[in-house]
Structure 1
């Protein structure tokens, strides 16, 4: 269900039509999952008793602002895995864009980043967040380095040829399901409601390894198995996270 306080925006009108969603005034909306356009932003909400708070994309404040100001620059594990170093800023395709947080970090560090998201609902949240951040003087320059594609990622990667291929492809597959749902972040619970379990990570990794010019980076929980049992060339570890790096050629 899509809920709007006033006129439906063209973006949500197309989304509602393509997905066969009903459109209801915000105050009257009652559904398990709702996209709600408030006066400030687009939100994904869950109905029912004691629902979690809304999920939305915010590149201006909150966690994104903290990482932009205090994230550790090119010395942080993500940047090292991507191959960022002095004089070297590769082009990056984020194959599992989600809420765009890691893509925003990379754009903050100077990378041109293409965000690919297969869910049209999550892509709508991303587009709204990019639009708002593009209007803010603190983040507008960063957002200019970010572009969004709504597509099946495997199909999109296989369509890229020649200079359109990115130097680095980044993947952050949905973490394995945990039995105690209270331990799973609210956005992950809602994402599973929308797209189901992430069962094609190995296929996506194979497509990424075909497409990337220099390397593929896969973000995993620190003790998780390699995606598709495909052993990386090397890994960069932090306390809770591991970045598996599949190298095709040196970055230059």
Structure 2
């Protein structure tokens, strides 16, 4: 069954006034119907309210406060696994193409650590949430936050299609396919339950890896569940493993400095 997202009229007006791109086919209604899974609303910004997951808070992208603000201050710098996997512990002047931007969390951390990050998101609702998160963050008075945002760019679509006719300038391609549902009793955090229910599991991670390996990038990084098989059954150059996930690193050639303008 396709996931059904309704649009509240206030959210429609908000998106129009903030130049946020919304899908044209979202049903507009003040009260959601019983078959709706989500509704786009306004809750200190554009937010996605789950309707069939019990009492949970709406999901939105927040680069100013919350978990990302904490991670910016106390996240461990370039010694974080995602940073080391991308090579930022060796070279800060990197351009990274995040092919599965999602809620922008890893992209934000990489940009905070000095990389230029081009985020690609193909789900139109998630793309709209990212647009709004960036919009609200750019109106913050935090100068450090503005420097981070200046290194982030958002594109809508799929990386193989976007870069079919133009050269890839990023040295690193980052892939974080949606993990399959957990089979154990432990549940993912509520916000990621909402995100997973909206987007579903990616079924083209292997195709995306095949494209990335042939893209001309110097390095490809794939985020995987810790015990999951490698995509394409292709062993990486090395791996960085944590408690729940790991990073498969395909080092294709030496990383060299270049302009980080996105």
The two structures, once aligned, show a CA RMSD in angstroms of 2.2
Structure 1 pair 181/240, CA: closer, same or farther in 2 (3 Å)? Answer: closer
Structure 1 portions without partners, runs of 5+: none
Large movers: runs of 4+ above 6 Å: none
Instruction: Please say if residues 20 and 131 of structure 2, whose CA atoms lie closer than 8 Å, have aligned partners that are also in contact.
Output: no
Instruction: Please say if residues 158 and 207 of structure 1, whose CA atoms lie closer than 8 Å, have aligned partners that are also in contact.
Output: no
Aligned pairs for 1:236-247 (under 5 A) are 236-247=240-251
Structure 2 counterpart of 1:36, from 38, 41, 47: 41
Paired residues, what number? 245
Corresponding residue number in structure 1 for 2:148: 142
Corresponding residue number in structure 2 for 1:90: 94
Instruction: Please say if residues 98 and 107 of structure 2, whose CA atoms lie closer than 8 Å, have aligned partners that are also in contact.
Output: yes
1:104-136 alpha-carbon deviations (Å, 9 max, x no partner): 000001111000001010000011111111111
Matched, 1:154 2:160: yes
Corresponding residue number in structure 2 for 1:113: 117
Corresponding residue number in structure 1 for 2:28: 23
Instruction: Please say if residues 168 and 212 of structure 1, whose CA atoms lie closer than 8 Å, have aligned partners that are also in contact.
Output: no
1:126-181 alpha-carbon deviations (Å, 9 max, x no partner): 111111111113212211111101102332243431xx431001111111222468
Structure 2 portions without partners, runs of 5+: 1-5, 257-262
Given the two structures, how large is their TM-score scaled by the length of structure 2?
A: 0.85
Which structure is higher in helix share?
A: 1
Structure 1 pair 243/91, CA: closer, same or farther in 2 (3 Å)? Answer: same
> Secondary structure, in 3 states, of the residue corresponding to 2:193?
helix
Deviation at 1:13, TM superposition (A): 7.8
Task: For 1:235 and 1:196, locate their aligned partners in 2 and report how far apart those are by CA, in whole Å.
Answer: 26
Task: For 1:181 and 1:42, locate their aligned partners in 2 and report how far apart those are by CA, in whole Å.
Answer: 32
Given the two structures, how large is their TM-score scaled by the length of structure 1?
A: 0.88
Deviation at 1:16, TM superposition (A): 4.2
1:75-131 alpha-carbon deviations (Å, 9 max, x no partner): 221111111136542100101100000000000011110000010100000111111
Structure 1 pair 181/207, CA: closer, same or farther in 2 (3 Å)? Answer: farther
